[in-house]
Amino acid sequence: MPDNLTKVKILTAFEGVPDSRTLTCYEAGGGYQALRKALALPPSEITAIVKASGLRGRGGAGFPTGLKWSFVPQDSDMPKYLVCNNDEGEPGTFKDRYICELSPHMLVEGMAISARAFGANKGYIYTRYEFFEEIAWLRTAIDEAYAAGYLGKNILASGFDFDLDHYEGAGAYICGEETGLLSSLEGKKGQPKLKPPFPAVSGYLGCPTIVNNTETLAAVPWIITHGAEAYRKIGTEKSAGTKLFCISGHVQKPGVYELPLGYPFMKFFAEEAGGMAAGRELKGCIPGGASAPILTPAELQDATLDYEDLAAKGSMLGSGAVIIVDAEQPMVELLKVVVDFFHHESCGQCTPCREGTGWLANIMHAYVKGEGKESDLPLMHNISQQMMGRTICALSDAAAMPTQAIVQKYQDELKNYLQAKAG
Amino acid sequence: MASSSTFDVALQAKIKHHLERFETRRSAILPILNDIHQQYGFVSPAQVQALEDEFDLPRLQVQEVISFYSRYRQQQPSRYHVQFCDNIVCRMFASQQLIAKLKAKAAGCAAGTLSVEPVPCLGVCDGAPAMLVNDERHLRVTCDNLDGIIDDYLQRASDA
Ligand SMILES: Cc1cc2nc3c(=O)[nH]c(=O)nc-3n(C[C@H](O)[C@H](O)[C@H](O)COP(=O)(O)O)c2cc1C
Ligand code: FES
């Protein structure tokens, strides 16, 4: 039986350890032993272990990681690439930053192992440029790993070559979307591309490319060291392992917490984050970053932090960004910020997204000023409905889903706002 | 070429390095523009022209990138440019009032000294409200500590 209550420190193993970012410290804690072990295995065995572990992508979509790697055509003689998505642009998300802060070597080691699994000899870490310090830490870790022979040619005399470089973005949420990211890495505007073909078949420069989130890749060394079964035992049937949850808003202890998937939401909220800040009252929670539909306090009571329960409640685990909304936060304001954000970040290629986010933003701007109508609420629902599933990437859906949820679940408050403004 | 370049020797070396660093020269455009911004805070039309003339980077490709990404600007920014997060979480921590306060402060400074721009989530919501002053991050900004933080920068500007 998987255990969703016992805490295991995988990604946060080095929490509280001084100098945890250094190679010396990482090695002293067992670092790079997983790479040694992996290099002694046939590459297909690495993929098989990761598949069996149940690891799913931590960037938002939750796609099974080993399965994704197995889509890389092994008969192709094109170069293969591994790209780490460290763009962390989803509002409310700050967990990948924490990995950079604690253990950049865990990511580097995870990338070397993952690259070996499907035969990539070149990798990139793509980080948003605003992470100035974090980028410096990653660069230092890469340099240290090269000097120690964990990167470069003939790693640890295994015959495996893996070069890793760092690439910094320039301010665009859409570059977190994997195909937008690859366009950016090619030195172009960060516009997503239609899938299929998926990047695993045709990605960076048309070559087979795996894009994985930072947290996904950082979990790989532990899985190799402890085995698939050990990882599977943590969490739930469909959501194996631990996940980083970043909680923010007016709570006692905002921050990043590593928990087994399936952990009860209320237990996390009350015991780890310490509950609401003094004088604040819980009004709702966005459980997976700005794109995730909001949940009401009633829905939160029995919610568990895993892919399946949050999906069953009409929301999603997403990036693990838990945004607590308190009673002092007007929902009109929240909705306006959300739609403004997506409108601002739409790359403009697809009409439903470019126009739809714009219409939602226009409606909300008038609404906040008290110039709205009650019929705006069903109108926003309908516009959102038509924005879903019709575009190249999921940004349009990411704007539509939270809009529908707020409009539906907080309609009384939104209506009262209009009346108060009128009266 | 070296003596008449638009870029100083160190920047020329970085540009050359980026051009050789990737599978294609085009991938170097963002790293080059990032370095130019790190040094000057913006990219001038003369620099874009020089990237084409001296380094064979098509202006059209460079311009495509400049106009797409929010980091890139074509005019000199203020000496201290504040990117204040105005997204979901920071909004709950009075980002709007703090931005208004900063704007008023900027208006009282000599032209070109201080500017403020509301930006999307900076990925540090546990330290909301958050801002970047040039490339330095400040967390848990309040009405009380904001003046002190900014005055430190302004002091540096007047000392220099
Ligand atoms: C608009 C948009 C923004 C995204 N932003 C990010 C991001 O900042 N970081 C990330 O890892 N994934 C992001 N994703 C998801 C990626 O497209 C992709 O699914 C992920 O990087 C795959 O890695 P994983 O399987 O390890 O999760 C975003 C997706 C969309 C549609
Ligand atoms: S919302 Fe301000 S840093 Fe995330």
Q: Mean pLDDT of all residues in chain B?
A: 96
Mean predicted confidence (pLDDT) in A73-91: 97
Question: How many H-runs (helices) and E-runs (strands) does chain B carry?
Answer: 7, 4
- Please tell me the predicted confidence (pLDDT) of residue B156: 87
Across the beta sheet with A209-213, the strand order is A163-168, A122-127, A81-86, A209-213
| DSSP annotation string for B68-130 | H-TT--SS---SEEEEEE-SHHHHHTTHHHHHHHHHHHHHTSPTTSEEEEEES--S-GGG-S-
pLDDT on residue A238: 95
Q: Tell whether pTM > 0.95.
A: yes
State the fold for domain A242-326: Ubiquitin-like (UB roll) (3.10.20)
High-pLDDT (> 70) share of chain A, %: 100
Sign of CA dihedral A154, A156, A158, A160: negative
Overall average pLDDT of the A46-73 stretch? 98
Cross-chain Cβ contact B87/A255 below 8 Å: no
Distance A60 CA to ligand 1 centre (A): 6
Q: Which of B14, B20, B30, B139 to probe the A interface (max A CBs under 10 A)?
A: B30
CB-defined site of ligand 1, < 6 Å: A 57-61, 63, 85, 87-90, 174, 176-178, 211-213, 216, 393-395, 398
- Ligand 2 atom closest to Cα of B87? 1
Q: How far apart are CA A422 and CA A340, in angstroms?
A: 24
Average pLDDT of chain A is 97
Q: Is A264 helix (H, G, I), strand (E, B) or coil?
A: strand
CA-based R_g, chain A, Å: 22
Question: Within chain B, which residues score under 70 in pLDDT?
Answer: 1-3
Is there a contact between A128 and B68 if contact means CB atoms under 8 Å apart? no
- In this predicted structure, what is the pLDDT of residue A324? 98
Measured between CB atoms, which of A170, A325, A345 is closest to B34? A170
Q: Decide: A285 and B88 in contact? Cβ < 8 Å.
A: no
- Cβ burial of A60 (10 Å; 0-12, 13-18, 19+) is buried
- Give the burial class of A204: count Cβ atoms within 10 A of its Cβ; 0-12 exposed, 13-18 middle, 19 or more buried: buried
Please give the pLDDT value at position A163: 98
Q: How many residues in chain A?
A: 423
pLDDT value, residue B2: 44
**A-chain residue closest to B86, CA distance:** A337
Ligand nearest to the Cα of A398, by number: 1
- CATH class of the region A331-422: mainly alpha
Q: Which chain B residues are within 8 Å of A187, Cβ to Cβ? A: 22, 24, 26-30, 61, 65
The full DSSP string for A276-318 is: BPTT--EEEEEBTBTTSPPB-HHHHTT-EESHHHHHHTT---T
Please state the CATH superfamily assignment of the domain spanning residues B80-159 in this structure. Glutaredoxin (3.40.30.10)
Domain ranges of chain A: 3-232, 242-326, 331-422
Residue of A94, A185, A334 lying closest to B126 (CB–CB): A94
What CATH class is the domain A3-232? alpha beta
Query: A221 with A106: CB under 8 angstroms?
Result: yes
B160 vs A132, higher pLDDT: A132
